[in-house]
Amino acid sequence: MSLDFLLEIGTEEIPHWMIPGALEQLRKLDLLGATPEVEATPRRLVVRATGVPDRTPDTEQVVKGPPISAGDKAAEGFARKQGADASALRKSGNYYELVKKVSGRAARDILAESLPAAILGIQWPKTMFWTTRDGPRFIRPIRWLVALLGEQVIPFEIAGVKSGNVTRGHRQLGASAIPVTIASYESELRKNGVILAAHERRHKIEKEAADLGAKLDGDLVETLTYITEFPTAIKGDFDPAYLALPAEVLTTVMRHHQKYFSVEDGAGLAPHFVAVMNTSGDPDGLVKHGNERVLRARFNDARFFWDVDQSKKLADRVDDLAHVTFQAKLGSYKEKTDRVVALVKELGGNAHAQRAALLSKCDLTTEMVKEFTDLQGVVGGLYAKVQGEPEPVWRAIYEHYQPLSMEDSIPATPEGQIVALADKLDTLRSCFSIGLVPSGSKDPFALRRAAQGVVKILVEAKLDYKLGWLAQDGLYEFLIERIQHYFREIRGFKYDEVNAVMASGCGTLADVEARLTALAAVRPTENFEPLAASFKRIRNILKQAEFQPSQPLDPALLETGPERDLHSAFEKVRAATDGSPYLDALGSVASLRPRVDLFFDKILVNAPDARIRTNRLTLLHQLLTEFSTIADFSEIVTSGDQKS
């Protein structure tokens, strides 16, 4: 017989961003073969399943007994020890054996034992204790537990809370003790103000917010989905006079500080917002009124900061940066600014880029950025604009923190690209110079993000700085790793293609990209992988022979036939590919395949005559070196590798 299963871990409000990760883990809950379905609200993590066997099957265990030759006494003794009658023994070869029946266990008993550890075993970014220091740890206190298998409660206890069949409703909209069955569970919750399914809450938020004119925003929808049990959107208004403030500032206040959606009309931001409540309605308009009041105070602050900040121009704040620490050992932002300006110059940045670099960090001293730190750079750009800096300058300041993630776009202007590159590169160089290197999950200065930004800008802006010139030693290696990551994870190239191209050196990233693109294009052609396999063979032969080229190839020593043919074909391809686009070059190299195959087929590299042997190795070495400038083909994983 198989049974349905329900587990509800009732908690105090779990931080929204941790819920999906916890559900991923609960999806792997061991339910004796049944597949867990998971769901959650901020106050409950829920696992449901059908088809849980009511018990594990009975099994048989064979116990080996004494040799038959040991006699009846020994057999009886063995049987007694096993709690069986001697008549139950059977003969197997020269020995007695006993077949014992092992009864299966009730699933309810197994789960009663395993669930507490499984629940407390969920990994959270940060946990707490709430009973005593030695008590259980969880993300927030566990306040109730529903655990049912069929109609029966699976009995266990965590932190003094006993499992049962009683759930709780929404804090305002529902009852505080609701007996449920597996069948009635979700509908009882609904009657008590809880929409259990996240997709349903998400849909309700999206629909209602969109109907009220909200500009939807995926991240915010997701956040609101997991901080509400019964989301309802309402629209509020603000004084249009606040629209005089930059849209960036208004949006940040609404989105990040108040978790509101902004509302746009044809002309841009409209003087409205959409808030999502965790309740079913706002009959007296009190919630709307309260939220409007809060927003007004926030906007007033922002306007105050804006006005105060205009009393001192960005250009007059450069020296103030001496009082803002960049990093204890690396000094102030003034020092960082000086380095970035010099680096921009070194990178060939024009006067606008240099000016932008000089002003880029000045907004750190403004009240606006102290209050709204997410807006660093953006605020500087906006201030520079109203203070009359030329467009390339203010735009570069505005966008110099970009890209903030791998999905974010790079700065749009050349000045912005150079300042952003110099800023990040300086952070990386400085931190590496004092040994602040990310390790494992520790990366307090977000150096991976900075490095990723450097890579993204170099590739996507097609900047032709050589990597070896921008970075050395540890930082060079670190950037190489990030480059591989970028091309693999973001651009979707295969890892062996990335390895092959990178093994041939890393000059400018635009060049790496061009070689990768060519390699990926030529890879599916018929000659390519076999040729790659041959290159691997060549590399192994050279390695085994510990071959170091010491003299030029002597064409006179080449044997007529496959060897001479390969050589002349090689010379032709070499001449043809010199300076041609990578894709054509790779195509020509791939066309060598039949010659290479024939060579290996017919020619003994390890010739008895040392002169001939050396000459052949020289030929192979030249072949490998010559055609490894685009990619090291021996890095390509071919079907032969996978088999071995």
Partner 1 sequence: MDTYQDTVFKLKRYWADRGAIIQEPYDVEVGAGTMCPETFLRVLGPKPYRVAYVQPSRRPADGRYGENPNRLYKHQQLQVILKPTPDDVIEQYLGSLKAIGIDLSKHDIKFEEDNWESPTLGAWGIGWQVMLDGLEITQFTYFQQCGGIDLDLAPAELTYGLERLCAFLQNVESVFDIEWAPGFKYRDVRLTDEVQFSVYNFETANVERLWRLLAEHEAECKDLLKQYEKYPEKGRFPVLAAYDQVLKCSHLFNLLDARGAISVTERVGVIKRVRDLAVGVAKLWADQQSESEGAAA
Count of residues engaged in binding partner 1, rule: CB under 8 A: 48
Return the SS3 of 284: coil
Nearest alpha-carbon partner for 199 in 169, 231, 225, 232? 225
CB closer to partner 1 out of 91 and 323 = 323
> What's the min distance (Å) between Cβ of 48 and partner 1?
25
- Taking contact as CB under 8 A, which single stretch among the options 75-83, 131-139, 241-249, 495-503 is the one that binds partner 1? 131-139
C-alpha angle with apex 624: 618 to 630, nearest 5 degrees?
150
Residues paired with residue 145 on neighbouring β-strands, in sequence order? 9, 163
Burial degree of 339 (CB within 10 A; 0-12, 13-18, 19+): buried
- Taking contact as CB under 8 A, which single stretch among the options 129-137, 196-204, 568-576, 604-612 is the one that binds partner 1? 129-137
Give Cα separations from 250 to 75, 220, 258, 470, 523 (angstroms).
89, 16, 11, 39, 51
Question: What is the token pair recorded at 65?
Answer: 């007994």
Among 283, 492, 552, 608, binds partner 1 (CB under 8 A): 283
Among 2, 13, 77, 248, binds partner 1 (CB under 8 A): 13
Nearest alpha-carbon partner for 636 in 511, 496, 515, 486? 496
Edge-to-edge strand list for the sheet holding 268-277: 232-237, 268-277, 261-265
Contacts of 313 (CB under 8 A, 6+ apart): 383, 387
> What's the min distance (Å) between Cβ of 218 and partner 1?
19
Decide if 158 contacts 136 (C-beta within 8 A): yes
Binding mask 141-180 for partner 1 (x = CB under 8 A): x-x----------------x----------xx---x----
327 touches partner 1 (CB under 8 A) = no
Question: What is the token pair recorded at 368?
Answer: 């606006």
Binding mask 229-268 for partner 1 (x = CB under 8 A): -----------------------------x-x--------
Q: What CA–CA distance (Å, rounded) separates 436 from 458? A: 23
- In DSSP notation, 214-269 reads B---HHHHHHHHTS-SS-EEEEEE--GGGGGS-HHHHHHIIIIIT-PEEEEETTEE
Q: What CA–CA distance (Å, rounded) separates 164 from 157? A: 10
- Taking contact as CB under 8 A, which single stretch among the options 202-210, 298-306, 391-399, 490-498 is the one that binds partner 1? 298-306
CB closer to partner 1 out of 159 and 624 = 159
631 touches partner 1 (CB under 8 A) = no
337 touches partner 1 (CB under 8 A) = no
> What's the min distance (Å) between Cβ of 193 and partner 1?
11
Question: Strand 142-149 vs strand 161-164: parallel, antiparallel, or unpaired?
Answer: parallel
Binding mask 464-503 for partner 1 (x = CB under 8 A): ----------------------------------------
Contacts of 494 (CB under 8 A, 6+ apart): 488, 520
Among 20, 66, 86, 140, binds partner 1 (CB under 8 A): 140
Binding mask 15-54 for partner 1 (x = CB under 8 A): xx-------------------------x------------
User: Peptide bond preceding 403: is omega within 30 degrees of 0, i.e. cis?
Assistant: yes
Amino acid residing at 336: K
Burial degree of 313 (CB within 10 A; 0-12, 13-18, 19+): middle
CB closer to partner 1 out of 282 and 559 = 282
CB closer to partner 1 out of 131 and 472 = 131
CB closer to partner 1 out of 160 and 444 = 160
> What's the min distance (Å) between Cβ of 80 and partner 1?
54
Binding mask 543-572 for partner 1 (x = CB under 8 A): ------------------------------
> What's the min distance (Å) between Cβ of 163 and partner 1?
15
Among 277, 480, 490, 607, binds partner 1 (CB under 8 A): 277
Question: What is the token pair recorded at 80?
Answer: 């007694």
Among 69, 132, 311, 560, binds partner 1 (CB under 8 A): 132
Among 297, 308, 351, 386, binds partner 1 (CB under 8 A): 297
Contacts of 445 (CB under 8 A, 6+ apart): 327, 427, 431, 436, 438
End-to-end CA distance of the chain: 46
Burial per residue of 592-610, b for 16 or more beta-carbon CB atoms within 10 angstroms, e otherwise? bbebbbebbeebebebeee
123 touches partner 1 (CB under 8 A) = no
> What's the min distance (Å) between Cβ of 495 and partner 1?
37
301 touches partner 1 (CB under 8 A) = yes
Give Cα separations from 524 to 26, 484, 529, 641 (angstroms).
41, 21, 8, 17
Decide if 65 contacts 99 (C-beta within 8 A): no
Nearest alpha-carbon partner for 68 in 87, 90, 99? 90
CB closer to partner 1 out of 364 and 470 = 364
CB closer to partner 1 out of 227 and 620 = 227
91 touches partner 1 (CB under 8 A) = no
CB closer to partner 1 out of 30 and 157 = 157
> What's the min distance (Å) between Cβ of 162 and partner 1?
12
Place of tokens 């690209």: 417
- Taking contact as CB under 8 A, which single stretch among the options 97-105, 297-305, 360-368, 581-589 is the one that binds partner 1? 297-305
Among 28, 207, 296, 572, binds partner 1 (CB under 8 A): 296
| Site residues (vs partner 1, CB under 8 A) | 12-13, 15-16, 42, 126, 128-133, 140-141, 143, 160, 171-172, 176, 227-228, 258, 260, 275, 277-279, 282-284, 286-287, 289-291, 293-297, 300-301, 304, 323-325, 328, 332
